[in-house]
Amino acid sequence: MFGSNQVTTLGKLPMPYKVLFTGFLLVIGLGLMMAGAQIMLTHGMADGKPGLSKEDIVYSYYGNRSGSKLESAMTGKMKSKAPDADRFLLIQWARDGAPINQWDKVGPILEKNCSKCHDEESGFDMVAKQEVAVKLAEVDHGASISSLTRVSHIHLFGIGFIFLFVGWIFAMAEFNYNWKLILIATPFIFLIADIVSWWLTKFWPSFAWLTMIGGFGYSLASTVMVVTCLAQMWLPRWTDKP
């Protein structure tokens, strides 16, 4: 089937392969939508406003260097997690330099509003919470080098394999040959551009636009390939050919 010079087209695949490929493409399509939703709920709220903007990218990777990470969280993606009075006190504490002698007042607020989620993730004791809070009250320099390294290699390995299999299935589609080559290559190119843009934005915030272009580019190319493959496997125009 795949070893001959003439590759079988998607419409003429045996039913087991159609079911296998369809299941994979549907899961990948759903995963792309969930990834988009996750970006909107995290990076998309970095500036405190719904929707992904250049400022969101800058705050996420370069940081909001006019304030602390704690203040950025309290005015951005964590704004809905605490009452206004508590958020104001935490922001003021950070702006005052996170004085330890005010911990008796700050600690209970963090315990009340933040521990429900963050204790499950970290298991910090009270002393560790104090150390973490003081660290968060420092100037926000965005994503750290270690976190960028970790997330970069996860994305390159994981998403690279996804594009490999989507492109492999799409290679059997009936499509203009030159455009097929472009579409197969596009997600890989934009994925690399996306990852590189994180590092560039970390040091030069003007590169934030490249992050948005990279994510949009590989999402669009992947969507075209997934939809094309599903259509050619199941619609009569292709499956009814002799």
pLDDT along the chain (242 residues), means of 10: 62 93 96 86 67 80 73 70 76 73 75 65 51 66 87 93 96 93 96 94 92 91 95 83 54
Helix/strand/coil percent split, the chain, to 5: 75, 0, 25
> What are 149's two structure tokens?
């390294």
Residue-level length of the chain = 242
> What are 96's two structure tokens?
């005052």
Residue 39's Cβ-count burial label (10 Å; 0-12, 13-18, 19+) is middle
Task: Give the angle subtended at the CA of 219 by the CAs of 214 and 30, to the nearest 5°.
Answer: 140
| Straight-line distance from the first to the last Cα atom of the chain, in angstroms, rounded to the nearest whole number | 17
Contact 193, 209 (CB under 8 A): no
**3-state class (DSSP) for residue 68:** strand
Contact 73, 117 (CB under 8 A): no
**3-state class (DSSP) for residue 230:** helix
pLDDT of residue 27: 96
pLDDT of residue 125: 46
pLDDT of residue 17: 94
pLDDT of residue 127: 42
The DSSP H or E segment spanning 29 is: helix 15-41
pLDDT tens across 201-220, in order?
Answer: 999 999 999 998 998 999 99
Residue among 102, 113, 105, 54 nearest 78 (CA): 113
Tokens 């935490």 label which residue?
Answer: 90
Q: Is 124 left (phi over 0), alpha (psi -120 to 50) or beta?
A: beta
Distance separating alpha carbons of residues 231 and 9, to the nearest angstrom: 12
The DSSP H or E segment spanning 39 is: helix 15-41
C-alpha distance from residue 156 to each of 21, 39, 151 (Å): 22, 17, 9
- The dihedral sign for the CA sequence 112, 56, 206, 222: positive
The DSSP H or E segment spanning 157 is: helix 145-170
**3-state class (DSSP) for residue 203:** helix
pLDDT of residue 162: 94
